[in-house]
Amino acid sequence: MECFFGSFQLPIKSDLQKSAVVIFHIPELGIRFKAPFDGVDEDHNDFAALLALLEFIDSNQKYLKSNVYQIFGDNRKLINQLNLMEPLPVKFTGLFEKTSDYKKKYRFSLAWVSHDRNSALDNLYD
């Protein structure tokens, strides 16, 4: 099952008083999630979006038919860090460990997709 995640930086003077919106999309199920988030930077926001997706998968197993997930994000640096191709900043160690725990529990691959092919970022304003 293909899944997409990402984040959208909000303007500094946003009414939400958050720095971003974290998003994930599971096209096969028609599920789209968006929530405001106050991350420290773009990588943190994208990490939060990925973990929201993984937590959704974890808590909805009885409704998900697939046990193999292909997860796509448009933050190449974060994808490379999670795939152990680039060093991970120490500040993300705890988030990386959570992601690793989910990877042990569920079979998923994590790959980069260009911004224009990341369906999580479609329909940002609905």
Query: Model-level pTM?
Result: 0.90
**Fold of the domain built from segment(s) 2-121:** Nucleotidyltransferase; domain 5 (3.30.420)
Alpha carbon distance 126, 106 (integer Å):
31
- Where are the chain's structural domains? 2-121
Q: How far is CA 87 from CA 16, 42, 49, 108, in A?
A: 33, 17, 20, 21
Question: Each residue of 91-124: pLDDT tens digit?
Answer: 999 999 999 999 988 889 999 999 899 998 887 5
